[in-house]
């Protein structure tokens, strides 16, 4: 695995962690909170963002305006049964969601969730590292690499992994401070 391939694969893991972080609520309304919501639309599970325009008119409200008014009830139902804990208000044209300020207890829960996502990302990075090192050891065993080259490559991979893990930890601390900020 070339250095570029390794970095690209690890970067994808970092992006996945970041997407997960974006779905965690802070004290402000944010359209990315609804990214994981999918709606039953004409018999198929469809992502909410492909069925409606989602905006934040103010810091405590998310407005959802469906492209097809027939999907309004389905969207409302999908939001109600999601794990977000929001109560959608439907006025016949637009669904509004009031995002209440977080309690201290909820903030701590969200910090734990962010830590869980960060740990999943670190595990993914370690798995990528393990696979890359196994390939290098196999190349050494097959005689394609010398022992020194193999050791150098393994050290390079470890350094890359450490750098990406630091990125995840930095993102986690930023997300935690964002969650805890009142």
Per-residue pLDDT of 112-161, as tens digits, reads 999 999 999 999 999 999 999 999 999 888 988 888 999 999 999 999 99
Nearest-angstrom CA–CA distance, 166 and 175: 14
Give residue-wise pLDDT tens across range 58-109. 888 899 999 988 888 898 888 888 877 788 888 888 999 988 887 888 888 8
Which is it for the CA torsion 48, 49, 54, 56, positive or negative? positive
- Domains of the chain in sequence order: 3-22+103-180 (1.10.132.20), 31-98 (3.30.1360.40)
**Model pTM score:** 0.73
> What pLDDT was estimated at residue 110?
87
From residue 81, give the alpha-carbon distance in Å to each of 26, 38, 87: 20, 11, 9
User: Per 3-state DSSP, what percentage of the chain is helix, strand, and coil (rounded to 5)?
Assistant: 60, 15, 25
Question: Which percentage of the chain shows pLDDT scores above 70?
Answer: 99
Cβ neighbour number for residue 129 with a 10 Å cutoff: 20
The pLDDT confidence band at residue 1, using thresholds 50, 70 and 90, is: low
Rounded Cα distance between 180 and 121, Å, is: 22
pLDDT tens-place string over residues 39-55: 888 888 989 888 899 99
| Residue closest to 9 by CA, chosen among 105, 97, 121 | 121
């Amino acid at each position: 695995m070339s250095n570029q391939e390794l970095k690209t694969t690890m970067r994808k893991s970092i992006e996945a962690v970041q997407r997960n972080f974006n779905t965690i609520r802070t004290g402000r309304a944010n359209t990315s909170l609804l990214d994981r919501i999918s709606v039953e639309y004409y018999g198929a599970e469809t992502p909410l963002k492909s069925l409606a325009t989602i905006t934040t008119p103010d810091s405590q409200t998310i407005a959802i305006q469906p492209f097809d008014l027939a999907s309004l009830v389905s969207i409302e139902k999908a939001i109600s049964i999601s794990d977000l804990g929001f109560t959608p208000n439907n006025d016949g044209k637009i669904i509004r969601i009031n995002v209440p300020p977080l309690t201290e207890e909820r903030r701590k829960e969200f910090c734990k969730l962010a830590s869980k996502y960060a740990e999943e990302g670190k595990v993914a990075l370690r798995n990528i590292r393990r696979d890359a090192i196994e390939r290098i050891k196999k190349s050494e065993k097959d005689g394609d690499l010398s022992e020194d080259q193999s050791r150098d490559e393994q050290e390079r991979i470890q350094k890359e992994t450490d750098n990406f893990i630091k990125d995840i930890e930095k993102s986690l601390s930023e997300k935690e401070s964002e969650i805890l900020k009142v």
